[in-house]
Chains A and B, each alone.
Chain A
Amino acid sequence: MIPWDKVHGGMTHFPIALLLFSATCDFAAVAFRKMPFARGLRTVSYYGLIGAALGSLGAVTSGLALANGVWWGRGDLLFHQRFVWPAFGLLIGLAVWRLVVRDAMSRTGRCLYLVLMALASGCVAAAGYFGGELLLKGG
């Protein structure tokens, strides 16, 4: 019997931490775009985002196993899932987009990307918060 609560608890930290870190690096790269390390920040954010997307696959799989396959639950679980699915969709989409585009972003593309990264980060943070509430309430 796999302890899905522990597996999910462990795996879910990777996408949360990596996405927030990646977004921070992206915004820092914009803020310090004239500095020599801006390119390095973009590279770090790229690998952080890819890692977050890969990690999200494990987090989502273990979460669904923990919820016995319920992907749209009730009560506190629903609060968690309301943010999980938009976050997951955005995270995968952003990672694929960056895999294709790499650093060849136009000004408009970069602006759109940053807006979506901020949105994804907000959704991931909210999903993590409500996931923690579920844990504290013993769900």
Chain B
Amino acid sequence: MLTSLEIKGAVAAVTTSALLLSGTFTAAGTYRAHRRAGSDARPPTASELVTGRGRSLFFRSCAHCHGQDADGGEDAPSLRKLQISGSHMTLVIRSGIKGEMPSFAKTYTEQDTAAIVAYLKTLN
């Protein structure tokens, strides 16, 4: 049998847990509504849309070698502080690097490549 102290503790535990969970969900809902109001007030700019698409393409094709945060992987360098121009990045993405990185010329259009480059530039 549970002692009276344990029963008191159980009541306190269930009450605290329920209050904290309901408080968390309420606060999350409020935060979400606040974020939505903010995003409704200012639609994304064209460059934000492009970098967003670039980020999505990066995760699809590049992140498994260069890392989720583009900070480099076991076999691929970091892309965070690239000291090369946008056109050079485009060239590397489209042509690849022999024996090291595949070409993405057939995978992505020029607009897609430009979106990836735009995203990479935001990492610098």
Name A's B-contacting residues (CB within 8 A).
60, 64-65, 68-71, 85, 88-90, 92-94, 96-101, 104-106, 108-109, 112, 135-138
Tell me the nearest residue of chain A to B63, going by C-beta: A138
Hey, what's the 0/1 contact readout for B1-34 against A, CB within 8 Å counting as 1?
A: 1110110111011101110110011011111111
Q: Is the CB of B24 within 8 A of A60?
A: yes
CA distance A85 to B18 in the complex (A): 11
Residues of A within 8 A of B63 (CB): 138
A15 to chain B, nearest CB (A): 14
Min CB–CB distance A13 → chain B (angstroms): 16
Interface of A is mostly: helix
Report whether B5 and A68 are in contact in the complex, using a CB–CB cutoff of 8 Å.
Answer: no
Judge whether B21 and A89 touch: CB under 8 Å.
yes
Residues of B within 8 A of A101 (CB): 5-6, 9
Checking A71, A99, A112, A138 against B25 with a beta-carbon cut-off of 8 angstroms, the contacting residue is: A71
Complex: A69 Cα to B35 Cα, angstroms: 8
Q: Closest approach, in angstroms, between the C-beta of B88 and any C-beta of chain A? A: 25
- Do B13 and A97 have beta carbons less than 8 Å apart? yes
Say yes or no: is B68 at the interface (Cβ < 8 Å to chain A). Answer: yes
Q: Which residue of A lies closest to B19 (CB)?
A: A92
Whether, in the assembled complex, B59 has its beta carbon less than 8 Å from a beta carbon of chain A, the answer is: yes
Contact call B35/A96, Cβ cutoff below 8 A? no
Distance of B51 from chain A, by nearest CB (Å): 14
Interface 0/1 of B79-116, CB less than 8 Å to A: 00000000000000000000000000000000000000
B32 close to A109 (CB less than 8 A): no
Establish whether residues A100 and B5, one from each chain, have CB atoms under 8 Å apart when the complex forms.
yes
When A and B form their complex, which 4 residue pairs have the shortest distance between CB atoms, in order from nearest? A69-B32, A138-B59, A100-B9, A69-B31
Q: Are A96 and B6 in contact (CB under 8 A)?
A: no
Chain B residues lying within 8 Å of A138, measured Cβ to Cβ, are 59-60, 63, 68
Which residues of chain B from 50 to 76 have a CB within 8 Å of any chain A CB?
A: 59-60, 63, 68
